Amino acid sequence: MNYKDSKEILELIKKSKRILLTLHSSPDPDSAGASLALYDVLKKLGKEDTEVVCFDKVPSYMILTKKSPIKEVFDISKFDFSKFDLYIALDTQQLALLTSTREKVKLPSKLKVIVIDHHITNPKYGNINLVDGEKSSTSEIIYDLFQDWEVSISKNIASNILLGIIGDTGGFRYPGTTVRTFEIVTQLIKRGAQKDEIIFKQYSNNEFGTLKYWGLVLRKMKIDKKHKFVYFAIPYEEFQKYANYGAGASHGIDVFTNSVVGTDFGIAITGKKKGWLSVNLRSRTGFDVSKIAVALGIGGGGHRYAAGAKMKSPFKEGVEKVLRVAREMSNA
């Protein structure tokens, strides 16, 4: 048995009639992969009345089937949580991460909540909380959970789990990748997981506009040698020129901000919505960037090597706050 909570989670699922799964805003492959894999397993368990919802746009490269079961709902205030009796929150360290504007989400008091996550900053807001900060990804947790349930893993389920693992390990580059990670990947490939397609779509499938955006990133990038980090800040007006390439733009953060010699981490600050700043942090040496994200306010968090936050702030003041916090934390 990998997790002591596995049996209790399965029992609650079997008792439930209508189940909700969600992706966090600005969804990444781990959020999508874990949710889609669990969706397929719930169907196998006879839970036909299950929905997968994202309150944001889901990039097409995260969908490995011809038709996606994910419903995109862009106004969370109009979404009826009360029609479900079980909500499983995957890869979502806090409910504010469901929306890009970090709105406060109030769930019905009768709704049972299961949290499955690998972010150590998760406050464990569910009735059952399976939070394992030692795992490379939530998708890796999902695999071990399926093993505890003794469910068969189809080619599609294997592919979605692998999608999440490859995404959150940066193609196996991040230190959170363990021997166990590779053992799981081996089993997934044996079950037909689409390794080549997943890697191609994530790392060799960029729009030309995305590359032009990366050029802007490189022009904007600065280095703080004293505090050992690089950063770039792009205001809303400039980002809008490349808004259609947002998914690839996010991937550029991993390409550039954690690869500069002589630095410990990198920061990307972008005005993706008017009056709001998206802050993404990537560690190069093991410096815990989640501490910076948490210090920035509502919805901030993540893990040691990758973290993020959203801030409602004018551009100049927001950038100054991010840099001030980063410098304070780097000296701590």
Share of the chain above pLDDT 70, in %: 97
For domain 6-202, the CATH class is: alpha beta
pLDDT in tens, 129-188: 999 999 999 999 999 999 999 999 999 999 999 999 999 998 998 888 999 999 999 999
Which of 56-70, 94-108, 242-256, 311-325 shows the lowest per-residue confidence on average (mean pLDDT)? 242-256
**Is pLDDT above 60 for 248?**
no
Structure confidence at residue 210 as a pLDDT band (50, 70, 90): confident
Q: Does domain 208-331 have CATH number 3.30.70.100?
A: no
Q: What is the pLDDT of residue 297?
A: 73
Q: Return the domain boundaries, the chain.
A: 6-202, 208-331
- The residue assigned the tokens 């950063």 is 231
